[in-house]
Structure 1
Amino acid sequence: MPKITDIKKQKVRPRVNIYLDGKFGFSLNLEDYLKLGLKKDQEIDLNTIPHILNQDQQKKLFDSALNFLSFRPRSEKEIRDKLWAILKKSRISTSQESLSDKVHKLIDETVASLKKIGQVDDLQFTLWWIEQRQKFRPKGRMALANELSSKGIKKEIIDEAFSRGLGEDDLALASKLIDKKKTSFEKLADFERKKKVASYLARRGFSWEVINQVLTLIKEE
């Protein structure tokens, strides 16, 4: 069995480099290193190294995911895409089927761990996304649904979020947006004003049904 001939702490990251028989063997996070109780001159079974490295990789992924989540909530798809990108840049290759299976397993295990501590919840993410959009950048339900769908949120979850009556309905929201832009439209000719209003609301993701209702309200003013 190979012998640990040196252990060196990395200068920047909380990790240690393990040297086996005078050559670099592998690196390990400080927490796992202390748990394993590895020491200089200790012999180590080669069969245990893959397990140690797998645990280390799992912790690195978990910490990376938590850092990614520290900026804002994320959907499960966003987390999976981020972890996949991290692993593609690492020494783990995805070109071989067996290694690709390993990558998927690492990602699945990391996401499962995040779910256990409530860090990944697509319904809560959807509710948060809708609330933030309506507060800072109001959009119609159609646009919101498209945004959420692009983030991997299933239709039934989107429908569930909307069914909770979060925020204003589309007609009230569209009317409020146009009211704020009133000074920009009021000097225009009737046809041009309607065209500008319709274009503005369409870009905000409102349905044509809602747009026509707003145009009718404008006509009645």
Structure 2
Amino acid sequence: MVLKKITRITVQQKNKNRYNIFLADEYAFSVDEAILIEFGLRKGLELDEAAINKIVQKEKLYQFYTQSINYLSYRMRTKKEVYDYLKKKEVEPEYIDEIIDRLTKEKLLDDREFAEAFVRTRINTSTKGPKVIAQELREKGVSAKIVADVLELYTTEKQFDKVYKIMEKKLRQSSKHAFRKRLEQIQVNLMQKGFSREIIQEVAVNFSDQKDADAEWEALVFQGEKLLRKYQNKFSGFELRNKLTEGLYRKGFSFDLIQRFIQESLEQE
């Protein structure tokens, strides 16, 4: 068994927490202070090849660990996110598993804690519903059981309140479209955001009778005049009336308003 003696240990100039190890007066490897202390590296200590390899491997593992700590310093992560991060850096799978186990034991990785914080943040800072949030958590590697548990934080009352505020805000905005059409489009958008049809429809009932008559008429006139310009050179009489009625009804306007517009518009010609 060949033994090599540590003849010199120097501190790196750019990083005072790292040390260069010299064996037989030749540079051999460098280690972090934590590894230096763990293995009791000092001048005069003799190392065989197996000990050197163990130190080098432990140093490599420690470097990957510290990189993971830095990755976690920006925000909370899931185990899958850390795994993917280390895999992208081409870290050996056995090292990744060991690092994730250590981070978990040190309470630096906790998928349930991450998921709870994630849901609370989404509730407070976004317009996303529970279905979209659940999908986001699954994509981050959070288990189905944890996802189901933490989504209970997004209570029915909170969902109702969120949907109500979104619907109210959008309906206050000026528009050249029929109220019914706008309400339908908002409901579709809310479903895409991840809210349930049941809650959306329950909220929509509160707005069904809040249509502004003047705004509705202005929107109809705007849409009606566009259709009139489109059809008046191609159709006349009953056919023109029929085209206007069909077009405006599809846009969500009431039959009574449509007939009023047709009567007023065609009488002016």
Normalised-by-shorter TM-score class: 0.7 to 0.9
Residue 126 of structure 1 is matched in structure 2 by: 115
Distance 1:167 1:19 in 2: 66
Give the deviation of 1:7 after TM superposition.
Answer: 2.8
Distance 1:105 1:76 in 2: 15
Q: Secondary structure at 1:201's aligned position in 2?
A: helix
Residue 8 of structure 1 is matched in structure 2 by: 10
Give the deviation of 1:198 after TM superposition.
Answer: 2.8
Q: In the comparison of the two structures, how many residue pairs are matched?
A: 207
CA pair 184-200 structure 1, distance change in 2 beyond 3 A? farther
Q: C-alpha root-mean-square deviation of aligned residues, in Å?
A: 2.5
TM-score (norm 1): 0.80
CA pair 155-34 structure 1, distance change in 2 beyond 3 A? closer
Residue 70 of structure 1 is matched in structure 2 by: 73
The within-5 A match list for 1:25-44 is: 25-44=28-47
CA pair 164-183 structure 1, distance change in 2 beyond 3 A? closer
Q: Secondary structure at 1:70's aligned position in 2?
A: helix
Give the deviation of 1:5 after TM superposition.
Answer: 4.1
Residue 98 of structure 2 is matched in structure 1 by: 109
The amino acid across from 2:119 in the alignment is I
Q: Deviations over 1:160-188 (max 9, x none)?
A: 11235568443332112222333225664
Residue 140 of structure 1 is matched in structure 2 by: 129
Q: Deviations over 1:14-43 (max 9, x none)?
A: 212223345432221022213433234543
Give the deviation of 1:10 after TM superposition.
Answer: 2.0
Q: Is this contact kept in 2: 1:131–1:166, CA < 8 A?
A: no
The within-5 A match list for 1:1-221 is: 1-13=3-15, 14-86=17-89, 88=90, 103-164=92-153, 168-184=157-173, 188-221=177-210
Q: Is this contact kept in 1: 2:119–2:153, CA < 8 A?
A: no
CA pair 49-124 structure 1, distance change in 2 beyond 3 A? same
Q: Structure 1: where are the runs of 5+ without partners? A: 93-102
